[in-house]
Amino acid sequence: WDCPPRIRVFTMPRLPAVTRFVSDTGVRIYRIPCKVFDHLTARVYLLLGAGPPTLVDTGSGDGESTRNILDGLEAVHSEFGESFKPGDVRRILLTHGHLDHCGGLSELVQQTGAQVGIHPLDSVSLTASAERDVLRYRATAALLRQAGVPADRHEELLDRHVRRQRPLPRVAVDLVLEDGVRLDGLEVIHTPGHSPGHVCLAVGDVLLCGDHILPRTIPQQWPESIRPYAGLGHYIESLDKIRRREGFRWALGGHEPPIDDVTKRIDDIGRSQTRRLERLLDVLRAADHPLTVWEASQAIYAQSQGFYVLLTLMDTAARTEYLHQRGRLTIANLDQVASDDSVPWRYRPA
């Protein structure tokens, strides 16, 4: 990219390049790739020149994820000439509490002794992940019934996507990353939606945006009924919150390439969200009877298989909830729902 901040590049084997950005406040930002799952890579960030050496996100802790991060931190000295070594990290800030962003936290804290910061609404991922997983399992099981998922699919979906998640070692939270908090020139911006306690970090004219804004992917949505402060409504409000701010030259996410026009990308995401909502309405209008969330999801995402079946169901549930909350859908079998908890909810356009 032929524009500031200046970027220097070196290549890591089997992973994208580590890159260096410099904000207009003089903070050096090193973008370090790591493999988090078999099918997914992520990016963590080392900040130098904004208080103590600070790492943003920690990968998954699976496989070579932590080794990738440590190799990238070593390269900050060997390839970029910084007077820095991995043990110098004194602060770890998490954009949110999903496994691919916080799973490596415990090991990195053990190696560095760093303080840990996260938003309170995601802190349970660090302090009580087993409790979080039990409650999430129960809430998801209830949603499968409400959504009309066939009974013989429940165990498969719950086993694959909820029950088998590994609990994380407990890590104490030292820093509370609430909206508006400033740390040595870093500003915390609470952006709920993808997760309840998701935050972006403004570093001068560079925005570290976790999974809130990605250049190729629209972040996964969850219905607020099972994850408070998630939901499509919160996500759209958080997009608008970032859009109203001016002066970001770059947005650096937890996955995928950097974004050099943040406003345009937010507008693109907004248009895509509108199209997806209209697609759901079209499916409901065209049906010869009111549909459950499962039936609507199967109509929209007929090709989904394996890992993606639950994700597409949750996406459809989040959009159905959003439209229902705003009076654009109604429950067609309300009398049955009122008298029997096991009856799936059926929706039609209002």
Give 291's DSSP letter. B
Residue 9: burial class (beta carbons within 10 Å; 0-12, 13-18, 19+) = exposed
45: left (phi over 0), alpha (psi -120 to 50) or beta: beta
Model-level pTM? Answer: 0.93
CB neighbour list of residue 82: distance below 8 Å, 6 or more residues apart: 28, 48, 76
Residue 160 has pLDDT above 80, yes or no: no
Contact 246, 342 (CB under 8 A): no
Per residue in 237-296, pLDDT (tens digit) is 999 999 999 899 999 999 999 999 999 999 999 999 999 999 999 999 999 999 999 999
> What would the pLDDT profile of 52-105 be if each residue is shown by its tens digit?
999 999 999 999 999 999 999 999 999 999 999 999 999 999 999 999 999 999
